[in-house]
Amino acid sequence: MDAEITTMPCRDCGAAVSGLNGRYACGLCGRVNHWSEGSNKLPTAEDSADA
């Protein structure tokens, strides 16, 4: 699984926060973005099922 660390401004306070695969948690205001904003799709049952 790829791990991509990104830095982006917090939407609430504007502080630069680092995140993994598009997910991040702000250390200043505590904002955590939703998983759906990440760059990776969530694994699905089909991904783990034997084809």
Residue ranges in contact with Zn ion by CB under 5 A = 10, 12-13, 15, 26, 28-29, 31
- Between 34 and 41, name the residue whose CB sits nearer to Zn ion: 34
d(CA 11, CA 14): 6
- Between 5 and 28, name the residue whose CB sits nearer to Zn ion: 28
CB atoms < 10 A from the CB of 27, how many?
A: 12
Q: Are 40 and 22 in contact (CB under 8 A)?
A: yes
- Between 4 and 14, name the residue whose CB sits nearer to Zn ion: 14
Q: Please, what is the minimum distance in Å from the beta carbon of residue 29 to Zn ion?
A: 3
